[in-house]
Amino acid sequence: MGYRKQIYTEALSVLKARREQAEAVASAHKTQFAAKCPEALTIEREMAKTGLSAIRAVGAGKDAEAIIRDLAQYNLELQAKRAELLAQNGFPADYLQAPYTCKRCSDTGAVDGEPCDCYKALIRELALRELSSATPLKRCDFESFSLAVYADTPDENGLIPREEMEAIYEFCKGYAAQFDENSGSLFMYGKTGLGKTHLSLAIAAKVIEKGYGVIYGTAQNLLSTLEKEHFGRERDADTESLLLDCDLLILDDLGTEFSTGFTVAEIYNIVNTRGLRGKATIINSNLTLPELQAKYTDRVTSRILGSYSVLHFTGSDMRIQLR
């Protein structure tokens, strides 16, 4: 998936902290159990001994198998005894087990030498957080989106903004719920303050919840990061492959970036490469369609208008109405 090295390092240190935390809890519980029930210590010691004896038995040769079978039996009896003591003293059955966040890999991040799902999810989460650190992702869900702020009387084009927005809202909700590797791309345009960012982020939150990797950023921020990496010395950074490879890319506020030959070429590269790879992209813009055509090359606009679902946000600025 091509994330920056720093992300992997950070993910491993998060796992390490989880592991240590869980093991500290288990160790504290063991002390509490022993304080209330001294017999626990004897059992603990016996259990450790069965392990050592098994190791010795392996070295003992022909009778080893029988010895190990007996030891295993004895170990099971000790476990049963311990479970009984836990119950008698009012402790839950799993009291001595480390409460790992991920039961599959015990917070090691690997199962049978393969990366665990929890590790992959963590990497996506960290990558997303890094790229959208300035965004209040949590507050922008479908539930907090209000249709009531849109006018329910016809506008100058005879359209009722609330009805138009209700259709867009339902479309976005369905898009998020059904999102998968085959989902198409969306182009949202309309005046500023009509909810394009809110609905994009609501989609992002749902799609992340489904386990996909999502990158969100304003065109200005993402392009300036790319520019720094392209012309600077940060050879380690690899935002471009992240932008080209993630499951869903949300490019907010297209048209507000400072336009150069580099940015126009990058926009084309992103739109074109992701299109060829069949990856979904959501682009938001305050530009009208003629403005979009004037600002970018025909290659860019024809790709967007030709293969994206186009959502036109109507109505007056709801932030102004709310005031």
Contact residues for Zn ion, defined by CB under 5 A? 102, 104-105, 116, 118
- The string over 236-272, giving b where at least 16 C-beta atoms fall within 10 Å of a residue's C-beta and e elsewhere, is ebbbbebbbbbbbbbbbbbbebeeeeebbebbeebbe
Collect all residues with Cβ–Cβ distance below 8 Å to 131 and sequence separation of at least 6: 215, 216, 217, 222, 239, 242
Residue 102 or 207: the one with the smaller Cβ distance to Zn ion is 102
CB of 276 to Zn ion, least distance (A): 34
CB of 29 to Zn ion, least distance (A): 22
C-alpha distances (whole Å) from 131 to each of 128, 134, 217 are 5, 8, 6
Q: Which helix (H) or strand (E) holds 254?
A: strand 248-254
Residue 8 or 145: the one with the smaller Cβ distance to Zn ion is 8
β-strand pairing of 308-312 with 185-189: parallel
Query: Nearest Cα to 200, choosing from 248, 239, 235?
Result: 248
CB of 102 to Zn ion, least distance (A): 3
Residue 104 or 129: the one with the smaller Cβ distance to Zn ion is 104
The pair of three-digit structure tokens given for residue 218, joined into one six-digit string:
């304003």
CB of 213 to Zn ion, least distance (A): 17
Given a contact cutoff of 8 angstroms between Cβ atoms, the answer to whether 151 and 236 are in contact is: no
Residue 105 or 204: the one with the smaller Cβ distance to Zn ion is 105
Task: Output the 3-class SS for 31-42.
Answer: HHHHHHCCHHHH
The pair of three-digit structure tokens given for residue 138, joined into one six-digit string:
């949590």
- The string over 87-115, giving b where at least 16 C-beta atoms fall within 10 Å of a residue's C-beta and e elsewhere, is eeeebeeebbebebebeebbbbbeeeeee
Residue 112 or 143: the one with the smaller Cβ distance to Zn ion is 112
Query: Nearest Cα to 272, choosing from 239, 253, 309, 297?
Result: 297
Residue 15 or 71: the one with the smaller Cβ distance to Zn ion is 15
Query: Nearest Cα to 289, choosing from 280, 298, 281?
Result: 298
CB of 9 to Zn ion, least distance (A): 18
Given a contact cutoff of 8 angstroms between Cβ atoms, the answer to whether 240 and 4 are in contact is: no
Q: CA 69 to CA 104: how far, in whole Å?
A: 27
CB of 118 to Zn ion, least distance (A): 3
CB of 12 to Zn ion, least distance (A): 12
Residue 105 or 131: the one with the smaller Cβ distance to Zn ion is 105
CB of 208 to Zn ion, least distance (A): 18
Residue 19 or 279: the one with the smaller Cβ distance to Zn ion is 19
Q: Which helix (H) or strand (E) holds 114?
A: strand 114-115
Residue 1 or 110: the one with the smaller Cβ distance to Zn ion is 110
The pair of three-digit structure tokens given for residue 139, joined into one six-digit string:
């507050």
CB of 109 to Zn ion, least distance (A): 6
